[in-house]
Amino acid sequence: MHPEADDRDEERGRALKRDIFAITQLRMAGALDAMMKYFAADVVVHYRCTKEGLFLPGELHGVDAFRENIRLTDAAYEPLGFEVLDILAQGDTGVVRWRNSWRCRGTGRVATLDMAHFLRWRNGSIVEVFEYLDYHGWGATADEARLDK
């Protein structure tokens, strides 16, 4: 056993958890330039679910494509509130499970989504993201789940 190595791994995990929480805050605040500083220029973003209205399952390549995707989302949907449910981090991987509420700018309709993002780091930057969404919030009980009340 190497206690020093265990301590370094534990501190690295805490640092990743802080970064993951900061990314969620920046995302919902619309601070895209600050958020993108966490991502490598060649980041690959995998969407593994149907995205409501705007985007289909697939992949984005590069930080510019990722930023544009978020810009398009924010043009159509206003972020209202969020809560982080779980953050796990170990080695160079992390995951965040969180809930967020959005208002459709065209209709005023508000929905709450559960999301999970799996992240992989290399040399201090995120190089790969897997996004999963649960659209339960688009249903009849969406108003009860709202985080902006």
Cα dihedral value 67, 84, 139, 28, nearest 10:
-30
pLDDT, position 124:
92
CATH number at residue 62: 3.10.450.50
- pLDDT: is 5 or 36 the higher one? 36
Total domain count for the chain? 1
Residue 2's identity, in one-letter code, is H
Q: How far is CA 34 from CA 6, 116, 141, in A?
A: 31, 21, 34
pLDDT, position 47:
85
Residue 2 included in any domain: yes
Residue 69 included in any domain: yes
What integer is the mean pLDDT of 51-57? Answer: 55
Does the pLDDT at position 144 exceed 60?
A: no
Residue 149 included in any domain: no
Residue 143 included in any domain: no
Residue 142 included in any domain: no
- Check: CB of residue 82 under 8 Å from CB of residue 98: yes
- pLDDT: is 57 or 130 the higher one? 130
Residue 144 included in any domain: no
Range of the domain at 90: 1-137
pLDDT, position 145:
52
Does the pLDDT at position 96 exceed 70?
A: yes
User: Distance (Å, rounded) from C-alpha 43 to C-alpha 4?
Assistant: 31
Residue with tokens 């209205």: 53
pLDDT, position 127:
98
User: Distance (Å, rounded) from C-alpha 84 to C-alpha 6?
Assistant: 26
pLDDT, position 122:
96
pLDDT, position 78:
93
Residue 125 included in any domain: yes
Burial pattern 26-52, b for ≥16 Cβ within 10 A else e, equals bbbeeebeebbebbbeebbbebeeeeb
User: Distance (Å, rounded) from C-alpha 147 to C-alpha 83?
Assistant: 8
- pTM exceeds 0.85: no
Looking at every residue in the chain, the average pLDDT score rounds to 85
Residue 5 included in any domain: yes
